[in-house]
Structure 1
Amino acid sequence: MILTVGNTKGGVGKTTLAVNLAIERARAGRDVWLIDGDRQGTAETAISIRSEAGISPGIACSSFHDGPTLRAQVKLQGGKYDDIIIDAGGRDSTALRAALTLSDALIVPFAPRSYDVWALSDIAELVDEARSVRDGLSAYALLNLAEPKASSTDNSEAAAAVADFPQFEYLNTPLSRRKAFANAAGAGQSVMEIKPHDRKATAELQALISRLF
């Protein structure tokens, strides 16, 4: 599967999610390639930290910041891997557009904030463009950095707003705003590896992975 984690808006936890997904797929025995399509290079840095710490399994990671290079490399090397996770930059870029035309699925993380919900309209337009040239792209909206309290009205209102965008299927497996996610990714690990163990964060990520894969 080729899966892109992308949004035209930054600050939604995109890289943290991509790193966690890539590591957990590798821990499940899959041959995974993580592609960093963001010029900030945060995903590549996280995997470098993992490699330097000698954490197993290792994750193949490459950086392709422009669309033509990303497209060419995925077509050339993609057949070697079971899963390809693409971390696309938090803006409308050639890398994001290329990723959408290559992917089987897109996850659009968004936070429970009005301007994050409004920004879904931009990525929705890119999904329409990608589907016009490639059939079969599944697009999912994922509430990320959600309020930890399940009863939060911010969470429920943000989730309900996704209905205004028919391009997306809402994933009812939100990830809460927990330090464990960022701390783990910063150490080149997933929340299922890092110590001390955060059971709530682990359960949330497991629910998402079960839904996606």
Structure 2
Amino acid sequence: MIITVGGIKGGSGKTTIATNLAVLRAQSGRDLLLVDADDQETASDFTMLRNEKLPNGAGFTSIKLTGAAVRTEIRRLADKYDDVVIDTGGRDTSSQRAALTVSNVLLVPFVPRSFDVWTLEKVSQLVAEMRAANPELAAYAFINRADPRGQDNAEAEEVIRDTQELTLIETPIGARKAFGNAAAQGLSVIELKPQDAKATDEVMMLCRHLFDITETSRAAVGA
């Protein structure tokens, strides 16, 4: 499974999602490659911190790639790993487009705010363009940094449902300090002590749902 965590709007928590998915998948016994294709290199910093602080290291392999090398190197390396998670940052870059040519899934987090939701049409256009090169690309979106109350979450989910090229995953993740506290220590939220049970449950539900639906879909296509 090759999953790109991307989009075209910064500040929606893409690297947090990518790194948490990487740790969860690695801890489930998968040999995982985390690709940092974001100019900010935050995923690489996260991995470096894990290698420095944890007795057994990061638990996964991490590399930095940019531009066309994202496509060529992932094609070369994909068979060596069970899963690949690519963090491409929050802009429509050549790195993200290269990643989408070889990915099974694009996962897009959206913050329930008007400026973020307004980018949905542009993301949909990007997916449509990339499916010309990669017809099997699946694209999913979910609400990240969800509000604890109010109508913004529901309204944003409704906009996603109406977007032609994206499928809504109904597993919102709340705006919880635990994610930032964990990242500062090179940890996923499931490793943080004391544990934030809600944050842990939310990210585990997202991971389980994402891999369940994509693996079921791929199995059906294979059948």
- TM normalised by structure 1 equals 0.95
- 2:198 is aligned with 1:200: yes
Is the contact made by 1:147 and 1:155 (CA closer than 8 Å) also made in structure 2?
Answer: yes
- Using the TM superposition, give the Cα deviation of residue 148 of structure 1 relative to its aligned residue in structure 2, in angstroms: 2.4
Q: Percent identity?
A: 46
- Using the TM superposition, give the Cα deviation of residue 78 of structure 1 relative to its aligned residue in structure 2, in angstroms: 1.3
- Give the root-mean-square deviation of aligned CA atoms: 1.1
Counterpart of 2:66 in structure 1 is 65
- Using the TM superposition, give the Cα deviation of residue 71 of structure 1 relative to its aligned residue in structure 2, in angstroms: 0.8
- Using the TM superposition, give the Cα deviation of residue 55 of structure 1 relative to its aligned residue in structure 2, in angstroms: 4.5
Choose from 167, 170, 176 the match for 1:169. Answer: 167
Alignment of 1:89-128 (within 5 A): 89-128=89-128
Q: Secondary structure at the match of 2:24?
A: helix
Choose from 172, 178, 181 the match for 1:180. Answer: 178
- Using the TM superposition, give the Cα deviation of residue 134 of structure 1 relative to its aligned residue in structure 2, in angstroms: 1.4
List gaps (5 residues or longer) in structure 1: none
- Using the TM superposition, give the Cα deviation of residue 125 of structure 1 relative to its aligned residue in structure 2, in angstroms: 1.1
Aligned length: 210
Counterpart of 1:160 in structure 2 is 158
- TM normalised by structure 2 equals 0.91
List gaps (5 residues or longer) in structure 2: 212-223
Q: Secondary structure at the match of 1:140?
A: strand
Is the contact made by 2:9 and 2:90 (CA closer than 8 Å) also made in structure 1?
Answer: yes
- Alpha-carbon separation, structure 2, partners of 1:212 and 1:15: 16
Alignment of 1:20-39 (within 5 A): 20-39=20-39
Q: Secondary structure at the match of 2:59?
A: coil
The list of structure 1 runs, each at least 4 consecutive aligned residues, that deviate by more than 4 angstroms after superposition, is none
Counterpart of 1:13 in structure 2 is 13
Q: Secondary structure at the match of 1:191?
A: coil
Is the contact made by 1:20 and 1:185 (CA closer than 8 Å) also made in structure 2?
Answer: no
Pick closer, same or farther for the CA change 1:147–1:33 going to 2, 3 Å: same
Is the contact made by 2:15 and 2:87 (CA closer than 8 Å) also made in structure 1?
Answer: yes
- 2:44 is aligned with 1:44: yes
The letter of the residue matching 1:34 is L
Pick closer, same or farther for the CA change 1:172–1:61 going to 2, 3 Å: same
Pick closer, same or farther for the CA change 1:148–1:55 going to 2, 3 Å: farther
Is the contact made by 2:27 and 2:59 (CA closer than 8 Å) also made in structure 1?
Answer: no
Counterpart of 2:216 in structure 1 is none
- Using the TM superposition, give the Cα deviation of residue 185 of structure 1 relative to its aligned residue in structure 2, in angstroms: 2.2
- Deviation string, structure 1 residues 145-199 (Cα, Å, up to 9, x no partner): 10123xx201111111112311011010001000111221232211111111000
